[in-house]
Structure 1
Amino acid sequence: MSGEATKAAAPGGEYEYAFEAVPDSERTSGLSLFMVLAGYPIAVSNFVTGAAIGFRMTFIDAVIAMLTADAFLIFIAVSTGLIAFKTGLSTSFLSRIAFGRRGSTIFSLLLVLSSAVWVGINGDTFASMVAVNFPWWPLPTAATSAAIILLWSISAMRGYRGLEIVSWIGVPIATAMAVICFVMVGMSNNGYGAVLAYAPDPANTMSFTEASASIVGSWVFGCLITPDAARFARSRKGVVGAGTSASFLGLFCLQFVGCVVAQIAVDPDFSAATAALGLGGVVLVCTFVCLCTTQDNNIYGAGLAMQNILAETPLAGKVRHCWIALSITVAAAIFAACGALSFLLPVIQFLSVLLAPVPALIIAEYCFVKNSKAGIGFNPVALVCWLAGGAVGQLCLMANFFVSPVVAFAFTLVLYTVLSKAFDKRVLAGR
């Protein structure tokens, strides 16, 4: 289906503007954008990552690793967010400028698969927490996980406005819970003095490269889909201000709390550490709220990615956003219920090394090459650079060299710019 036909068949609101730029009438305030963007990284995984790193490093070393990695993540979120603000396009459709129409479906498929798997994992995890904390709970774990996943789909099915409503409720609650954890930690044992004096077990330490790579790897997927929300911004200042502050709150602040909790309790397991400090109930409530504000974003982003895939089929512009979001939710619930996630997760973890180079391709094309490939079917230069960047990142991680995702990003950006300048005429000639 041609682009014009697709637009004609797909009224923006019903399809969450998947096939076109978000119109000015639907753009929203910086505060609204902040709440939605903050709701996504306010996630349990950032508590967990902070705890795992804090247990294996001194307090100062852990803070340096977190600040370094988070600065890179914020750069990705704001940079791609600004491009989305300018173009009005979602992450998946934005990737067309580098990969081409059909080439972008490979990346979109990875987004859909990653989202479905992580939604399923989090649903299964929370259901297990409910079973442990409430022995009287009547539903089996599989049914509980399916129910909670379907609950997350309600806001995702309503689109950006649904995400906004949940974030206005969840962000203040989750932030308050994090503050409570931090304050209560200071009142326990030797307080914050124990944190400053903490020394990890020499046999179980983590290097700066490993720590920073773990932080980036745990949230680069989230930064990649920042454009899905940032395209609704009214101004550049809104993107920069909301993107920076929301990411800092959701990433560094939560990781910092996780780090402090682990060092006070001397336990890398965030759930166990908080339980040992008498914070089990607070964390359970915080976990529920964090999951609600995060997983609906995953479902929403996967829905937009699926629209990009369908755009190259006869179903282009014929399936509404709400039905795609629901189908992705059902798939995630099935994965969680049947235990297939234990087989899919290693695959997603392996593919995650390929995520850091993707924003480099988009930024390089938009800012330096400036010769969009959205009009062609497939751009082989983008695929070569994507794979090469992932390989370089993996080698840096194995060699314990600097921040491996940063190296992969810089390498990909330079390589794509150089190769595009050399081969663009030939690539575009094949359109």
Structure 2
Amino acid sequence: MVSPPSSTAPQRPAVLDRDRPLERIPVAERKGVASVAVVIAGFGFFTPTMITGGAVASEFSFATFAVLALTAAAVLALYIAALGIAAGRTGLTTVLLSRLVLGRIGGKWASILLGGTQIGWYGITIAVLGDLLGTALGVPTWPVVLLGGIAMAVTAYYGFRGIELLSWISVPLMTALCVWIAVGAVGNAGGWSGLLAQDGAGTLSVGAALTLLIGTFVSGGTQIGNWTRFAAGGRLAFGVTAVTIMVVQSAMLLFGGIGATGFGEPDFSGILIMTGSIGLAVFLIISNLWTTNDNAAYAFGVAGAELTGRPDKRPFIVGGVALAIVLALTGVTDGLTTFLVVLGVLIPPLGGAIIGTFVGPWRRRDPGTDLDAVGPVRLPGLIAYLGGTAAAVAGAWFDLGIPAVQGIVVAALLAALLPAATGARAVQL
């Protein structure tokens, strides 16, 4: 007679959240190239990037602007892809990478900084949604803000799969629509010869222009680990991220420049409203903002999970969205943009510290550290982050160079070199 299995046998714990916000993503649960690429592409369709492209295009000849746009896209692609490979090799979110680099206390700071910033941007985005759709449809803004804020959280609530599904629907349609509008803008400017004949105002320096072009997405791009951790390997994560970011960011900046030159309006949804294509404008507005905002909700969801130690991002998505809706409905977001731009100076050095640690002490591999065994402070990473932040703040204060890039470079160099200089005992306290 065979005895029944013992009730005291160890049971494998059920996974509370299949996106594993407090764990490494197992190799068996990784995604293919197309899945990761389409999610990154949806994240990169960012209306403020188009508007910035239009603003910079008005200051230069179009040929010069195109070179600047491609340069900015290349810088962003290299930086974001470097973070992408770190997440792909370790299977960790950006905030969990921050815990390994800075220590448990530093990880909490990263969660507050990255999560709080994304809640703010979520509120700003749904406020923009309310204004644009209210104008296009002639309806009050508050119902749009409320319903849009809730709807945009649904795909993030369901995790990577929900974001991927939305991206597969929205990205191809948005791309086709943007190309169609761009062709019309070129025609309205008198063809490519007319476009290239445009002269800019010439009041903006090259350094300031690159600061604007890079700055629109450098802070958001630091969150890339939330999605590249699902890539099937580090090289794949680097390649997919680099190509996707380069293509999407170049397109967004150039589309904005073409729209501003051809129609005097960098935002393509604004062009559609001007030309009376209200239905297409509504589609573009909703798709563009949704594919960015669900990524923001996902980001503050995993940040909340790390901050509290609860292995489920969903309650924090709900709470963050509720707070963002309140911010949007009370008009707080009107004064929040400048504050968030200031916070943006603090975020890129965090990415630099992660990259430097990954390339240096970790030798481009997963260090295999138990996430629950990380000490309160890791001095090399913390010093690197503070040094990079000081460089970024100094650049912004004295209007020198490109603050975000300087912060990344200084933090990365310090993170790569300090462990050898300080010795193993100083690494963790």
TM score, norm. by length of structure 2 = 0.89
Partner of 1:59: 62
| Partner Cα separation in structure 2 for residue 212 and residue 321 of structure 1 | 35
Alpha-carbon distance change, 82 to 10 in structure 1, aligned in 2, over 3 angstroms: farther
Quote the offset at 1:174 in angstroms: 1.0
| Partner Cα separation in structure 2 for residue 275 and residue 134 of structure 1 | 10
Instruction: Tell me which amino acid in the other structure corresponds to 1:42.
Output: F
Quote the offset at 1:43 in angstroms: 1.7
| Partner Cα separation in structure 2 for residue 149 and residue 70 of structure 1 | 29
> Is contact 1:61-1:208 (8 Å) kept?
no
Partner of 1:178: 178
Quote the offset at 1:398 in angstroms: 5.4
> Is contact 1:127-1:145 (8 Å) kept?
yes
Quote the offset at 1:410 in angstroms: 1.6
Kindly tell me the number of residue pairs found equivalent between the two proteins: 412
Partner of 1:386: 385
Quote the offset at 1:346 in angstroms: 2.6
SS at match of 1:376: coil
| Residue segments in structure 1 that go unaligned for 5+ positions in a row | 1-7
1:59-108, Cα deviation, whole Å (9 max, x unpaired):
12212221222112111221111111111111110111211012111111
Quote the offset at 1:425 in angstroms: 3.4
| Partner Cα separation in structure 2 for residue 279 and residue 186 of structure 1 | 18
Partner of 2:228: 230
SS at match of 2:417: helix
| Partner Cα separation in structure 1 for residue 207 and residue 111 of structure 2 | 29
> Is contact 1:55-1:267 (8 Å) kept?
no
| Partner Cα separation in structure 2 for residue 30 and residue 411 of structure 1 | 32
Partner of 2:72: 69
> Is contact 2:77-2:243 (8 Å) kept?
no
SS at match of 1:199: coil
Alpha-carbon distance change, 273 to 208 in structure 1, aligned in 2, over 3 angstroms: farther
Alpha-carbon distance change, 141 to 266 in structure 1, aligned in 2, over 3 angstroms: closer
In the alignment, is residue 340 of structure 1 matched against residue 332 of structure 2?
yes
Quote the offset at 1:276 in angstroms: 5.1
| Partner Cα separation in structure 2 for residue 276 and residue 339 of structure 1 | 26
Partner of 1:418: 417
| Residue segments in structure 2 that go unaligned for 5+ positions in a row | 1-10
SS at match of 2:36: helix
Q: 1:257 aligns with which of 255, 271, 274?
A: 255
Quote the offset at 1:169 in angstroms: 0.5
Matches within 5 A, 1:249-328: 249-266=247-264, 282-311=280-309, 316-317=310-311, 320-328=312-320
Partner of 1:405: 404
> Is contact 1:12-1:19 (8 Å) kept?
no
SS at match of 1:38: helix
SS at match of 2:345: helix
Between 1:358-367 and 1:282-291, the stretch displaced more is 282-291
Quote the offset at 1:178 in angstroms: 0.9
Partner of 2:342: 350
Alpha-carbon distance change, 402 to 166 in structure 1, aligned in 2, over 3 angstroms: same
In the alignment, is residue 188 of structure 1 matched against residue 191 of structure 2?
no
User: Which of the pair has the greater relative contact order for Cα pairs under 8 Å at 6+ separation?
Assistant: 1
RMSD over aligned Cα atoms: 2.4
> Is contact 2:188-2:263 (8 Å) kept?
no
Instruction: Tell me which amino acid in the other structure corresponds to 1:227.
Output: G
Quote the offset at 1:395 in angstroms: 3.4
| Partner Cα separation in structure 2 for residue 55 and residue 208 of structure 1 | 13
> Is contact 1:212-1:403 (8 Å) kept?
yes
Alpha-carbon distance change, 383 to 235 in structure 1, aligned in 2, over 3 angstroms: closer
